[in-house]
Structure formats: structure tokens, C-alpha cells
Amino acid sequence: MAVHQYICQFVPADIDAALGRRYSVGPEIAVGGQGTVFRATRTSRPDGTATHDVVALKLHFDRRRNIRVQPEITAMENVSHPNLARLIEHGYCDVAGRHTRYVAWEFIDGQSLSDRLKSGRLLESEVLGIGRDVSVAIAEIWSRRIVHGDIKPSNIMLRNSGGHMMFGSADSAVLIDLGAAKYLDQGNISTLRPPDRDDRRRSARRTIGTWGYFSPEQIRGTKALSCASDVFSLGVVMLQCLLGRHPTDSDQTALADGIRASGGRLAASVGLLCTLDMMLSPLPAFRPKPAELSRRFQSLLQTMPGQPPRENHTQQGGGSSIQEK
């Protein structure tokens, strides 16, 4: 049964009234397990100051499901970055007698990467642009010691520009949804024995994220994750973009020992494939830092035919092989 068949529906007019007519609520654009998202325009701030912010307004209908709301808000407060969706406003209101939490996010005019992938595999230049932009976003949140924890195609938005996708600019891809965000806790580092099958099942039930995109250490339940976990997940996404399908058909166990992009028949440069191999290493220490990745992807993008010259950055440069079907 679809989620929207048994949840309480929100009516735009009720939302307008609940928010003091400060928002003009438009059409519903998404509905899920946590709430409903509307496209809306914020015409004034809570203090009455006039503004004109086009937002994705999310209303959370079930307080029992709000466990993922606060981490996302905490992670994004006071953050302004072109590759991360900006938090506009959040609070509580009474919608038709229901006490409701609302969060207004910057509206990204475009489509999700998951929707884009429905049209088939991406060009290498497109994959490099996405890798560059999302790596920058990972580096930004990691500077605050935050791990995204759920990097996947549906959490990457691709901006529109004049009706076309923007792959060349530095803000073409935007990382959204930090509902699974984790904070580095130096006092909570533990040494884990090699997990057996039951351990992995228990860890998977405890871990918030998406099957098929977890890093090996994430699925083991490692508490002190680092940006290396997000780098691994981004590697899976980028390989999926090149293949036009998930590299392991969403089989998480096939990612436990890492996977390799090189050695198959992928039509991509050696530089990109070798970089993906490092990103998909089972050992976090062997994966490149996100800031380094962004520079490397930009450098690779500049070497492709038809790319405009830009400032160059010099970079230093076990598992199964993925072959294109």
C-alpha cells in the first residue's frame, strides 16, 4: 500500500493559514514516509520582513517519524554552499488542528539524479561534473565533522538552466537530505571484530541509509565514521551513472570487500576509472579525501574535448571487477 493512501493529507489553504499567510503554498511535489513536500513561496520572514524565497516546504505528519528531522536541521543551520540545499526556515505550526513540524528548504529547479538515470547512462563529462560537485559538498559538511550517510541518486539534484541540465557550472549538482547525518564522536571509537552474517543483519537494521549504497564500515555499524564513508557511496553512484544501472543490482553484500571499476569494458578514461577504484576500496584509509577528489575530477574534466580552459590543479595519483553488460 502506498504511503499516501494511509497518511493524513495536507491542504494548501490550511498550511497558508497555519503559517500566518507568510507562504503561498503551491502544488505537492513529493510524499514519503516522513511527510509531504510542497513547492511554495515565502513572502515574509517570521519578523515580518518582506522576502521572496521559492522553497520546498516539507511538513512532517507523524511525530514518531521525526527522528531524522533534527539531525538534518542541526547539520544545515548556518550553512550556505552552492552544492548543498540551503535551510530557509523551520518550526512548528497547527495545520487544521494538527501540531505539525515544518521545514522550508531552498527549492532546486531541476530533477533528481535518480530521475535522470531513467533515461540511461550518463556521459563521462556529466559524471565528472557530478562527482566534482558532490565531492565539494562532502568536503563542506566534513569540515563540520558531519557525515551525510545516505548518498544516492535520489539525494542528488541536478539544476536546470534554460530548460537544460547544468553540468558545466560549479553548482550543477546539489546534495540534499541530511536526515541520516552523523557527527564524528571521538569518544565513541570502538574496535570491532570481523562481523559474521548475523552481525551484518543487525547492523543493517540499526543503520539509517539505503541498501546498496552503504560503505563497508557503515554496514558493520562503525560509530566513528568519516568522510571516507560518503566517498565510497559517491563512488557507487558515479559507477551507476557510467553503467546506467546499479553496479551490484543493489546487493549490499557484494560491496563488503569493495568493487573495481577498471578491468571491465566501461567507456571511460583511465583516470576516472582508477579514481573510482580508490573511492571503492574496502579500506577507508585508501580512499581519496573529498577536496582532493573534486580537484581531480575538475582536472579530468578540463582534459576532455570541448571543455573551456580553467585553472588547473595538479593531483597525485581487492575486489571484484565490474563489467558493462
Per-residue pLDDT of 15-42, as tens digits, reads: 999 999 999 999 999 887 678 999 999 9
Q: Which of 74, 106, 138 is the last residue of a domain?
A: 106
pLDDT mean over 161-182:
72
pLDDT above 80 (res 294): yes
How many domains does the chain divide into?
2
pLDDT above 50 (res 193): no
Q: Which of 106, 131, 153 is the last residue of a domain?
A: 106
Mark whether 75 and 139 lie in a shared domain. no
Mark whether 294 and 311 lie in a shared domain. yes
Report the pLDDT value the prediction gives residue 169, as an integer from 0 to 100.
Answer: 56
Write the CATH number for 9: 3.30.200.20
pLDDT above 80 (res 188): no
What is the domain extent for residue 142? 110-321
Mark whether 118 and 51 lie in a shared domain. no
Nearest CA to 142 out of 252, 245, 47, 226 is that of: 226
Question: pTM for the full model?
Answer: 0.83
Q: Which amino acid is at 25?
A: V
Higher-confidence residue: 20 or 64?
Answer: 20
Matching residue, cell 538534518:
72
Q: For the chain, how long is the longest CA-to-CA vector?
A: 60
CA–CA separation, 6 and 1 (whole Å)? 8
Write the CATH number for 257: 1.10.510.10
Residue 96 φ/ψ region, left for φ over 0, alpha for ψ in the -120 to 50 degree band, beta for the rest: left
**Cβ burial 281-309 (10 Å sphere, 16+ → b, else e):** bbebeebbbbbbbbbbbbbbbeeeeeeee
Task: Identify whether the C-beta of residue 66 lies closer than 8 Å to the C-beta of residue 33.
Answer: no
Q: Which of 63, 83, 106 is the last residue of a domain?
A: 106
